[in-house]
Amino acid sequence: MIDVPQFIFATCQVGAEHAVKREAARRHPDFRPAYSRPGFLTFKLPEGHELADDFKLRCVFARSHGFALGGVRGESPAEMACEAWRLFGERPYDRIHVWPRDLASPGHRGFEPAVTDECRQVRELLWQHRPATANVATDDDTSPARRGELVLDCVLVDPGQWWIGFHRARGFGSRWPGGLVGLQLPADAVSRAWLKMEEALRWSRLPIPSGARVAEIGSAPGGASQSLLARGFHVTGIDPAAMAPVVLENPRFRHIRRRAIQVRRREFRKVRWLTADMNVAPKYTLDVVEEIVTHPEVRVRGMLLTLKLFDWEFADQLPEYLARIRSWGYEVVRARQLCHNHQEVCVAAIRHGRSVRPPKPHEK
């Protein structure tokens, strides 16, 4: 018989641990914080819990989560691999994910969360030491898990210490080791915002048709614009700062070199998709975006907004920020701290019909 796991783990960016704990306390008051390290947390589950193997933690700041079976220590990686399988027991699995705990906050001295060579070596070792069972698992570590696959999780928490767990892949983050989506910044990208926009588009799956017109507030120098242009969109970049020449040269790009509040509303009449990534407080971003999307002549269908959390205390206000966006008529509003986000979160919002925008008092 296989034991029911008594703990879950979650991984997050360094600095977000408190935000994860606060969210978990709000959503799952019966989970008790247990062992944790920067970027890695565990919670004790209530006795007799009936969580399914694909349960959703629903924490914006948790990049990945799953059931935790325990920590593994040993004299050598081979010894640790054997111990990992002993902990994992007879459970079925379809693939193995190995990733490291973040060792610094994203951007600190160039740190980017990523699967390392050491992870690839540990994964190979686990694969070699796998028990001889009828289980049919894949050795493929280059593609994301398919939805529904069971994943053996191994987090490299510290030198000589791994944590073993498992989850069933469902949503975006759960299909990649530790939610690390494995994007490489192209050599010609003019800023790392390319990574943020790519990850945001893949996570949100906003149905933006090729050829669509996208307004991008806070577009300079233009990495995110490059990602949008590469998908065939027409991009209007709004930013008082200079765009990179390579972006300006693209015939589908237009620069409005102003602050967002100085842009005439008619510029947004044909815009159905809007992104914002300004280095300002969340309230300012929301004020600016609200002005635009609630204007009677503007019909923005979907948005990707970066909300900068200059202070981690802003994390507690996230439910209110999302409620405010919903009040503009966006039925689906989701947030995630992407692996390429710094101290900020990405919000995706979409509305399905023209009639859903609540009428403004003067329109009633």
> Where does this chain bind ligand SAM (CB under 6 A)?
191, 193, 217-225, 238-241, 259-260, 277-280
CB of 238 to ligand SAM, least distance (A): 5
- Tokens 């300012």 — which residue? 284
Strand locations in the chain (E): 7-11, 32-37, 40-44, 64-73, 95-100, 150-158, 161-168, 213-217, 234-238, 253-256, 273-276, 302-308, 332-336, 344-350
Residue 160, phi-psi category: left (phi > 0), alpha (psi -120 to 50), beta (remainder): left
Residue 167 vs 255, nearer CB to ligand SAM: 255
Distances (CA, A) of 30 to 8, 49, 88, 104, 165: 12, 10, 25, 30, 20
CB of 145 to ligand SAM, least distance (A): 30
CB of 257 to ligand SAM, least distance (A): 9
| Distance, CA of 79 to chain centre | 34
Q: What sign has the CA pseudo-torsion 28, 29, 34, 40?
A: positive
Residue 129 vs 192, nearer CB to ligand SAM: 192
Residue 57 vs 214, nearer CB to ligand SAM: 214
Residue 102 vs 239, nearer CB to ligand SAM: 239
CB of 198 to ligand SAM, least distance (A): 11
Residues 18, 36 contacting (CB under 8 angstroms): no
CB of 152 to ligand SAM, least distance (A): 37
Residue 153 vs 277, nearer CB to ligand SAM: 277
Distances (CA, A) of 361 to 79, 259, 324: 69, 27, 17
CB of 194 to ligand SAM, least distance (A): 7
Residue 145 vs 224, nearer CB to ligand SAM: 224
